[in-house]
Structures are given as C-alpha cells and as structure tokens.
Amino acid sequence: MGFQEGTLPIKYIGIPLTALRLTVSDCQPLIDRISSRLAGWHFLNLSLAGRTQLLKSVLSSLHMYWSSVFILPKAVIKVIEGKMRTFLWKGSSRTGYAKVSWGQVCKPKEEGGLGIRSVLHLNQALMLKHVWRILQEDPHSIWVAWVLRHRLRIRQSGHIILLRLLGAGENYSK
C-alpha cells in the first residue's frame, strides 16, 4: 500500500513517541524551547510581578502538553524549574538570589506564595487525571479491563475497592 515501516522513537505532533520511558535526551526539544523563550525575555527590564506573570502564563503552557501526555523524568523537571527559578529571581540583571524557597513560591497566593505551579505537582496531577478517567469508564469495557490488568496491574477486586474508597465522583453524604 505504499507505507514505510518506521522504528521508535519518532516524533508525532511535536512530541516523541517511544515504547519506553522518556529520557532526558527525549525531552531536550522541550528544554530547548523553554530556554529560547527565556533568552528572548532577558533583554526586557521586567519587575518581579512581570516575570511572575510570564512564568505563569507562557512558560507553564510550554510544558503543559508534555506533562499531560508523559511522566516527565525528574532530571527534566529539575532543569525546567531551575530555569524558571533563575528567571524569576535574577531576571535580565543576572544578579540576585532567591528570597524564599521554590516550594513557597509554588504555593497559591492565598497561602503566601506567588501562585506559580510546580512542574512536578502539575505532571502528577495530569497523570492522575488519566487514572481517574479509566476508573470512571464502564468496568465491563474490554479496554478498561486491559488497562487495569496489564498496565495498572489492578485485578477486578482492586477496581471495586478503589471505587469504594474514591466513590463514583458523585456528591454524597455519610
């Protein structure tokens, strides 16, 4: 039919498709994209509030798609958050130091933080969203049964226990 047989890893919609876990080298295009975006901002003389807004609106969206599809390697998360931290505190002057810990910065404003989302916590939440979707599907579905058994290694009794503990997503009172 004219199809060429390929091998993994390949790129599809800008992200690598691989049969194994992502490596740091697989995520290098993401890191390069974040670095190039930050390099374009270094000539701007932005206040802390301006840098915070750029981090929350632009940089968070750059890794959002990758975070929703893959479990990012810890080394990649460390690099991304390091670049975000450096830009926040040093800005274009390339001088400065962290006024508070990154954990404090990533807290919501109501709790005294700047409201910047932690890359690690965002990645974990987006991965749990997939698990939640699987648990909400029809338990008799062949696809759900296969994912639960072979990918999540949960037997039928485990699925029932999880639904009992988590509920079916409806509001209920005890």
pLDDT tens for 113-143 read: 899 999 999 999 998 887 777 777 766 677 7
The angle subtended at Cα 53 by Cα 55 and Cα 26, nearest 5°, is 15
Q: How many Å apart are CA 89 and CA 31, to the nearest integer? A: 19
Beta-carbon count within 10 A of 70 CB: 20
Amino acid 174: pLDDT: 47
Instruction: Give the end-to-end CA distance of the chain in Å, rounded to a whole number.
Output: 60
Within 6-155, strands assigned E span 10-12, 15-17
Q: Bridge partners of 10?
A: 17
Question: How many angstroms from the chain centroid is the CA of residue 107?
Answer: 16
Amino acid 145: pLDDT: 74
Q: How many Å apart are CA 51 and CA 74, to the nearest integer? A: 24
Amino acid at 169: G
Amino acid 142: pLDDT: 76
Q: Which residues contact 149 (CB under 8 A, 6 or more apart)?
A: 155
To the question of pTM greater than 0.85 for the whole model, the response is no
Helix (H, G, I), strand (E, B) or coil at 15: strand
Amino acid 77: pLDDT: 95
Amino acid 139: pLDDT: 65
User: What is the residue-level pLDDT of the chain in tens, covering all 174 positions?
Assistant: 677 777 777 777 777 777 778 889 888 999 999 999 988 887 788 888 898 899 998 888 888 888 888 889 999 999 999 999 988 888 766 667 778 888 888 999 999 989 999 999 999 999 888 777 777 776 667 777 777 777 666 655 555 556 656 665 555 444
pLDDT tens across 49-63, in order?
898 899 998 888 888
